[in-house]
Amino acid sequence: MENAVENKNNKFIRYLKLIRQHIAQFFVKYRYFFIKIGISVITLALTVILLFFLLRLIPGDIVQEYALKLQGNRGIPYEQAYELAKDLLNYDPNENIFEQFGRYIGGLFRGELGVSYIETGVSANTLIATRLPWTLFISSVALFLSFFIGTAVGCYAANNRGKLVDKISSGYIAISGSIPDYLMALLLVIIFAFQLRLFPNAGNYNAFETTPGFNLPFIGSVLYHAFLPILAYTLVQTGTWILQMRGSAIGVLGEDYILSARARGLSEHTIHKKYVKKNAMLPMITMLGVSFGALFGGATLLESVFNYPGIGLEISNRIISKDYMVVQGLIFFSSAMVICVNLLVELIYPLIDPRVRRAA
C-alpha cells in the first residue's frame, strides 16, 4: 500500500521534472525572442519615466488654469472644478512624486494618453485617431517609393562601379544629403505652390468641393494634395537608400560565394539578380523596418511646411499653443511605436536570415 503511494509520488515528481525540463527547453530554444522582448519592455518603462519627468518641467500650475477655465465654462464652484480638472488631467500637483507617477502609469494603462486643456473634447487619443492615417499615408508611400527606387539604383550602381550611372548616383547622394528634408519641402512649396500655382500649399483634401468617402473626386483631391509632400520625402530619402544599398552590395560582391558563382560560369546577370541583390537586401529590410517605426511620430517640420494635418503638424502646433499634456501623449505614442516596430523587426529578422539566430 505504502509502496504504491510512494510509486505514485515518484511518478508525480518525475512528471514535474519533465514539465520543468520542457519549460526550460522552451525558454532556451527561444531565448533570443525572450531577451529581445525583455529589452524592449525595459526600454519602454524607462521611456515612460523620462517622459514623466519631462512633463514635470512644465512651468505654472496647469490644474489651476484648467480649473478656472472649467469654472467659467460650466458654471460650477471652484473646488468642484478643481477636483474635475484633477480627474480630467490625471495629475495632482499636491501629491508626492511617487503618487503622481502612479496616477500617470494608471492613466497610460487605461489608454488615456493626455487630455487637452485648451480645447474641450480633444485628447491625444482622438488626435491620433484622426491625424495618424494622414501621416502614415504620405510617409509610408514615400518610404516605400524611395526604398524601391533607392535599392534598385544602388544595386545597379554597385554592379557598374566607376561608370556613368555610379557617378551620377553619387552626385545625387551628395546633393540630397546636403539638403535637410524640410528645406527641400520649402523649395518645392515655393516653386510649385506659391510661384507656379500648380499644387495646393496647405491641407489634405479640398473640403469645399469633395465629400470624404470612397468616391473618385475625393481620392483625386487627396492624391493631388499629397503629391508635393510625398515628392519632397522621396527626393531626400532616395539618396540614403542608394548609399546604403550600394555599400551593402559592394560588401556582398567581395564574398567568396560570388567568386565561386563566377567560377561555375554563371552569367553576370544571374549573379547580380540572384546572389548580389538578395544578400544585399537583408540589412536593407532591417533598416526599412526601423524607418517605418520612425514614421509614427510624423515629420514635424515637413508637415508644418506643407500645412499637412498629420501627427507632426499637430505636435508642433500644440507645443506652440502650450498644450503640453497632449504633446506628451503624442510623444509617448510615437516612441512606443518605434520600440514596438523595432522589436517586431528584430523578431522577424531571424526568420529571414537564420545566421542571426545561431549567433545570438
Partner 1 sequence: MANIKEFGSKVWSIICLVSKFIYESILIPIWNFIKKIFKNPKSAVGMSILIVFILIGIFGPLIFPYSAETDVANKYLWPSLEHPFGTDWLGRDVFRQIIAGTGNMLQISFYTAIISVLIGTILGILAGYVGGVVDKIIMSITNIFLSIPSFPVYLLLAAVIVINGSLSFALIISLFSWAGLCRAIRIQVVSLKERDFIQICHVMHMSRTHIIFNELMPNLFSYIAINFVISMRNAIVASVGIMFVGLAAYDPTNWGAIMQAARDKGLVNVQNVIILLYPLINIVIFQASTLLLSNGLDETLNPRLKVM
Which residues contact partner 1 by CB under 8 A? Answer: 39, 42-43, 46-47, 50-51, 54, 57-59, 174-175, 177-180, 182-183, 186-187, 189-190, 194-195, 250-251, 254, 294, 297, 300-301, 304, 312, 315-316, 319-320, 322, 324, 327-328, 330-331, 334-335, 338-339, 342
DSSP string, 45-73: HHHHHHHHHHHHT--S-HHHHHHHHHHHH
Closer to partner 1 at the Cβ: 202 or 348?
Answer: 202
Helix/strand/coil (H/E/C) assignment for every residue in 121-186: CCEHHHHHHHHHHHHHHHHHHHHHHHHHHHHHHHHHHHHCCCCHHHHHHHHHHHHHHHCCHHHHHH
Rounded to whole angstroms, what are the CA distances from 186 to 242, 299, 301, 302, 323?
23, 14, 10, 8, 26
Q: At what angle do helices 164-178 and 124-159 cross, to 10 degrees?
A: 150
Q: Which of 181, 127, 184, 120 has the alpha carbon at shortest distance from 309?
A: 127
Cβ within 8 Å of residue 176, ≥6 positions away:
184, 235, 236, 238, 239, 240
Rounded to whole angstroms, what are the CA distances from 88 to 62, 113, 117, 131?
12, 11, 9, 22
Q: Minimal distance in Å, beta carbon 305 to partner 1?
A: 8
Measured in residues, the chain has a length of 360
Closer to partner 1 at the Cβ: 234 or 335?
Answer: 335
Closer to partner 1 at the Cβ: 159 or 342?
Answer: 342
Q: Minimal distance in Å, beta carbon 295 to partner 1?
A: 10
Q: Minimal distance in Å, beta carbon 299 to partner 1?
A: 8
Q: Minimal distance in Å, beta carbon 128 to partner 1?
A: 14
Q: Minimal distance in Å, beta carbon 300 to partner 1?
A: 5
Closer to partner 1 at the Cβ: 22 or 167?
Answer: 167
Question: In this structure, are residues 311 and 132 in contact, taking their beta carbons and an 8 Å threshold?
Answer: yes
Q: Minimal distance in Å, beta carbon 182 to partner 1?
A: 6
Cβ within 8 Å of residue 80, ≥6 positions away:
none
Closer to partner 1 at the Cβ: 116 or 300?
Answer: 300
Q: At what angle do helices 124-159 and 311-320 cross, to 10 degrees?
A: 130
β-bridge mates for residue 123, sequence order: 115
Neighbours of 54 (CB within 10 A): 14
Closer to partner 1 at the Cβ: 66 or 82?
Answer: 66
Closer to partner 1 at the Cβ: 38 or 102?
Answer: 38
Question: In this structure, are residues 90 and 113 in contact, taking their beta carbons and an 8 Å threshold?
Answer: no
Q: Minimal distance in Å, beta carbon 123 to partner 1?
A: 17
Closer to partner 1 at the Cβ: 76 or 288?
Answer: 288
Closer to partner 1 at the Cβ: 33 or 192?
Answer: 192
Q: Minimal distance in Å, beta carbon 327 to partner 1?
A: 6
